[in-house]
Amino acid sequence: MSKEENSSLTRFRFQRMLEMLEMKQGRGTELITVYIPPGKQISEVMNDLRTEWGTAGNIKSKTTKKNVQDALTKAMEQLKLYRKIPETGLVLFAGNIASNQLGVGDMETYVLIPPESIGIYYYRCEQEFMLKPLFELLRSEDAFGVLVIDSKAATFAILKGKRADIVKDISSGVAGKTRAGGQSARRYERIREMHLNEFFTRVGKHMTEIFLNAPNLKGIIVGGPGPTKEDFLKGNYLHYELKDQILTTVDTGYTGHEGVKEVVERSREFIKNVRFYEERKVVQDFLYNVGQETGLATYGEKEILQALKVSNVKTLLLSEGIRRAFLKLRCRECGYTETKIVDLDEMGEYEEKIGDLSCLRCGNGSYEFIEKEDLFEALVKMAEDTDAEIEVISSETEEGEMLLKSFGGIAVILKYRQFG
């Protein structure tokens, strides 16, 4: 599985964790959130949490005081498991989650390592966990390179979400098109072209340094006034890997930082489409194989599980909208095992009637649960075990919506045709 696919899967799992935490509620202001940036000394964080534990002793409500102090204790226990803060930081969540109207619930603790570095350090105690900074990280994970160039200067930036960070500004040293007195037009133009070529070469080197190994880079947008940007791209100045990363060019009225702002504003819709382009392509590939009856695609839970079992899956397509559980049942009498896939919304009702179902083999015994797993994670594990590619498909595109509604959100492209 490629780095990009792993990143996509990690991003989706992170998103689902945030959505789960978002649903958690405390009885009062009892849920604690601790954001710890990379490089922070664990001993310093522990001292701060002990101080907060002592401060919580002033809370008037005995129940609230106990719950807050218990949550802080749980957070400190989790922190002790780390020798140092991970490279992207650490976020701790702990608290008594209200499970009924009386507020009675269980103490729950969660630890998240963000997909990108967090730069904040703070502690909060509220009725819900503080998740906004992590949702912002999720939205801004994809990165785009920006180059704004004209014959006088070039500016390099990295765009993530709504934020464009300027990385470098360089000047060209190239004279204007109007020649100095005493020089022939041809000689002046030759010198100017030489300087311009040197400038383009420097721009290419800086692009290699800044963009070639930039994390999660989805492509590069080149902007600027006039034809200089096209002249640069036509030349042999770019690293061969970066040439394929150029997404589009944008005309701007300005250069420098203002030019970067223009590129960002004018590229919003284009960037949104780029994010979905790869997803659309793989879904269209699946639909083509289904429509043409090539035998290289299949859908349906049983068919997909069978294809995974025999290692005949090239690409597994999973919709973000899947909300189903993969169950393994066993007969209490004869030991026969069976698998079922149930919508999460129907799990409660299914669990109530499981004891009333008769065994398919002996007809006498009743079933019991021996394993329950999220269907998404179960399929991912099976795909990873057979080195199949995994594509997590958004439901925001027409193709993604079709995958979810018409094919149950699960489909595969096969390695070879299946018979029988």
- Digit-coded pLDDT (tens) for 25-44: 888 899 999 999 999 999 99
Positive or negative: CA dihedral 167, 2, 204, 266: negative
Q: Is residue 287 part of a domain?
A: no
Same structural domain, 35 and 67: yes
Same structural domain, 133 and 241: no
Mean pLDDT of 7-21: 83
The pLDDT, as a whole number, for residue 419 is 59
The pLDDT, as a whole number, for residue 4 is 43
Domain coverage including residue 352: 297-414
The residue among 217, 406, 403 whose CA lies nearest residue 315 is 403
The pLDDT, as a whole number, for residue 182 is 54
Which of 90-99, 212-221, 266-275 has the weakest average pLDDT?
266-275
Long-range contacts (CB closer than 8 Å, 24 or more residues apart) made by 175-181 = none
Q: Is residue 2 part of a domain?
A: no
Q: Is residue 36 part of a domain?
A: yes
- Pairwise CA distance, residues 65 & 94, whole Å: 14
CATH code of residue 46: 3.30.960.10
Mean pLDDT of 124-147: 85
Q: Is residue 3 part of a domain?
A: no
Would you place residue 370 in the very low, low, confident or very high pLDDT band (cuts 50, 70, 90)?
confident
Same structural domain, 201 and 93: no
| Token pair listed for 18 | 């945030």
Whether residue 289 is predicted with pLDDT greater than 70 in this model: the reply is yes
Same structural domain, 199 and 260: yes
The pLDDT, as a whole number, for residue 183 is 59
Q: Is residue 285 part of a domain?
A: no
CATH code of residue 306: 3.30.1330.30
Q: Is residue 9 part of a domain?
A: no
**Strand ranges of the sheet holding 246-251, from the earlier edge strand across to the other edge:** 163-171, 153-160, 143-149, 217-224, 246-251
Contact 158, 48 (CB under 8 A): no
More confident residue, 356 or 331: 331
The pLDDT, as a whole number, for residue 215 is 80
Cα angle for residues 82, 88, 90 (degrees, 5° grid): 45
Mean pLDDT of 80-92: 94
Whether residue 188 is predicted with pLDDT greater than 80 in this model: the reply is no
Same structural domain, 147 and 264: yes
The pLDDT, as a whole number, for residue 161 is 67
Mean pLDDT of 388-407: 87
Contact 165, 157 (CB under 8 A): yes
More confident residue, 278 or 128: 128
Same structural domain, 269 and 153: yes
Same structural domain, 242 and 155: yes
Cα 5 to Cα 11, 64, 167, 289, distances in angstroms: 10, 44, 27, 22
Per DSSP (E only), the strands in 101-183 are 105-112, 122-126, 143-149, 153-160, 163-171
Cα 134 to Cα 76, 120, 372, 408, distances in angstroms: 21, 11, 29, 29
Q: Is residue 222 part of a domain?
A: yes
- Domain end among 119, 139, 159: 139
The pLDDT, as a whole number, for residue 339 is 85
The pLDDT, as a whole number, for residue 46 is 97
Same structural domain, 147 and 135: no
Whether residue 281 is predicted with pLDDT greater than 60 in this model: the reply is yes
Q: Is residue 4 part of a domain?
A: no
Task: Tally the domains of the chain.
Answer: 3
DSSP state of 245: T
Mean pLDDT of 360-373: 84
Same structural domain, 114 and 161: no
Same structural domain, 259 and 339: no
Would you place residue 181 in the very low, low, confident or very high pLDDT band (cuts 50, 70, 90)?
low
Same structural domain, 216 and 304: no
CATH code of residue 205: 3.30.420.60
- Pairwise CA distance, residues 356 & 317, whole Å: 35
- Pairwise CA distance, residues 234 & 417, whole Å: 44
Whether residue 105 is predicted with pLDDT greater than 70 in this model: the reply is no
Would you place residue 221 in the very low, low, confident or very high pLDDT band (cuts 50, 70, 90)?
very high
Other Cβ atoms less than 10 A from the Cβ of 317: the count is 27
Same structural domain, 35 and 84: yes
Contact 31, 15 (CB under 8 A): no
When the pLDDT of each residue in the chain is averaged and rounded to a whole number, the result is 87
The pLDDT, as a whole number, for residue 180 is 55
The residue among 171, 152, 417, 145 whose CA lies nearest residue 297 is 417
Q: Is 327 left (phi over 0), alpha (psi -120 to 50) or beta?
A: beta
The length of the chain, given as a count of residues: 420
